């Protein structure tokens, strides 16, 4: 039989994202990627997500354990979404007005 020390609860640390700003920027950039064809709204949400991602990088030292890839992924999705929105706007302008 074990002694009274066996009654202690053993805990383990679970790593989690320190700042919610990085995760929020990734979520917003993913949402803007889904609605990029709403020309002003998708572009503005994408720009706000990029600003949030840059802010989250500037506020804290980011390592792999503290969520570095979330704001970097948000910046990559922001770049893709911004270009897709601008190209779709230009394509529709050429298709319907200039053609």
How much is the pLDDT for 31? Answer: 96
Alpha carbons 21 and 97: distance in angstroms, whole number: 41
Q: What is the pLDDT of residues 53-87, one digit of tens each?
A: 999 888 876 667 677 888 899 999 999 999 998 89
Instruction: Supply the pLDDT for residue 37.
Output: 86
Closest-CA residue to 36 (of 96, 93, 89, 98) = 89
Check: pTM over 0.85? Answer yes or no. Answer: no
Q: 58 or 10, which is more confident?
A: 58
pLDDT (tens digit per residue) in 41-62: 988 999 999 999 999 888 876 6
pLDDT above 70 (res 34): yes
Check residue 32 and give its pLDDT. Answer: 94
**Model pLDDT, residue 4:** 61
Three-state DSSP at 13 gives coil
């Amino acid at each position: 039989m074990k002694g009274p020390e066996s009654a202690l609860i053993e805990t383990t640390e679970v790593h989690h994202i320190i700042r919610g700003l990085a995760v929020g920027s990734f979520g917003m950039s993913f949402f803007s990627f889904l609605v990029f064809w709403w020309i002003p709204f998708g572009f503005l949400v994408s720009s706000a997500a990029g600003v949030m991602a840059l802010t989250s990088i500037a506020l804290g030292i980011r390592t792999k354990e503290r969520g570095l890839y979330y704001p970097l992924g948000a910046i990559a999705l922001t770049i893709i979404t911004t270009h897709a929105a601008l190209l779709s706007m230009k394509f529709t302008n050429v298709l319907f007005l200039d053609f």
